[in-house]
């Protein structure tokens, strides 16, 4: 199946999920996860009109970003070590994996030096799995209070990773809980700004995530295929 055909198939499935849940298609954004494909394939993704590119390792993403001349809108979606923030800020407009205060402060320092703003998602470990990164749901409000005075890191929403399961319906409660948590935090109000975004859902469960309110879905092999990372 060609890239164009895969994109068309994904688009059909997104539209169907939006229709089932009464959502506007324009409210759902695709992040093409290109960590396993080359810079040339990533360029092809951009040429097909998908402008949001997701990568999870600075050491492989930076050469790819440079090869493409900074084309596209780049999202860092993996666990980010604080000492790698210098490689991310200035290249990635979005960080989906903000999970600790030390990282928030390092991103703030790096972004301030460049006079830029990083849009971030607070990663929440809704499932409670020990293998997952992120703050516990009950810690989210405190984290937002602690970071409310940052001027170059803007937390725009929440992100989670659901357990990998054969039946995507089993992931639905995780996605639903993240949406409910976002709504609870917005209703509570506070020093932080409104949380409008939900980054949740991958190739195996993105339709359920959309039905539960995802505004960003992170799609890798299903969308871009497999390839040898370069």
Domains and CATH numbers, the chain: 3-219 (3.20.20.10)
219 has which bridge partners?
32
122 has which bridge partners?
98, 158
pTM here? 0.95
Task: Please determine, for residue 39, whether its predicted confidence score (pLDDT) is greater than 60.
Answer: yes
Lookup: tokens for 103 = 């990282």
Q: CA-CA distance, 223 to 218, in Å (whole number)?
A: 10
Question: Residues for the chain: how many in total?
Answer: 230
Task: Please determine, for residue 175, whether its predicted confidence score (pLDDT) is greater than 80.
Answer: yes
For the chain, count helices (H), then strands (E): 9, 8
Tokens 């460049």, located at residue: 114
pLDDT at 225: 83
Q: CA-CA distance, 220 to 227, in Å (whole number)?
A: 11
pLDDT at 230: 31
Task: Please determine, for residue 153, whether its predicted confidence score (pLDDT) is greater than 80.
Answer: yes
pLDDT tens-digit readout, 125-147:
999 888 889 999 999 999 999 99
Q: CA-CA distance, 16 to 81, in Å (whole number)?
A: 38
pLDDT at 162: 93
pLDDT at 193: 86
pLDDT tens-digit readout, 4-15:
999 999 999 999
- Per cent of the chain over pLDDT 90 is 90
Count Cβ atoms within 10 A of the Cβ of residue 69 and give its class: 0-12 exposed, 13-18 middle, 19 or more buried. Answer: exposed
H or E stretch including 185?
helix 172-188
Q: Tell me the pLDDT of the chain averaged across its residues.
A: 95
Q: CA-CA distance, 10 to 36, in Å (whole number)?
A: 18
Tokens 């199946």, located at residue: 1
pLDDT tens-digit readout, 185-229:
999 877 788 999 999 999 999 999 999 999 999 999 999 987 643
pLDDT tens-digit readout, 65-121:
999 999 999 999 999 999 999 999 999 999 999 999 999 999 999 999 999 999 999
């Amino acid at each position: 199946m060609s890239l164009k055909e895969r994109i068309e198939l994904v688009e059909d499935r997104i539209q169907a999920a939006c229709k089932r849940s009464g959502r506007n298609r324009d409210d759902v954004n695709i992040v093409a996860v290109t960590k396993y494909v080359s810079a040339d394939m990533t360029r092809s993704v951009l040429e097909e009109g998908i402008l949001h590119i997701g990568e999870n390792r600075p050491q492989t993403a930076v050469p790819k970003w440079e090869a493409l001349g900074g084309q596209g809108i780049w999202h860092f979606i993996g666990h980010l070590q604080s000492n790698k923030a210098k490689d991310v800020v200035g290249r990635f407009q979005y960080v989906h994996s903000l999970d600790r205060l030390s990282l928030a402060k390092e991103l703030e320092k790096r972004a301030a030096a460049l006079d830029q703003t990083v849009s971030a998602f607070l990663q929440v470990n809704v499932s409670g799995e020990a293998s997952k990164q992120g703050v516990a749901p009950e810690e989210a409000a405190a984290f937002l209070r602690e970071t409310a005075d940052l001027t170059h890191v803007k937390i725009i929403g929440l992100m989670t990773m659901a357990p990998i399961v054969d039946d995507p319906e089993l992931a639905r409660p995780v996605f639903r809980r993240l949406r409910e948590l976002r709504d609870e935090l917005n209703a509570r109000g506070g020093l932080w700004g409104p949380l409008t975004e939900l980054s949740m859902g991958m190739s195996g469960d993105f339709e359920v995530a959309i039905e539960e309110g995802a505004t960003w879905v992170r799609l890798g092999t299903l969308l871009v295929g497999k390839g040898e990372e370069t």
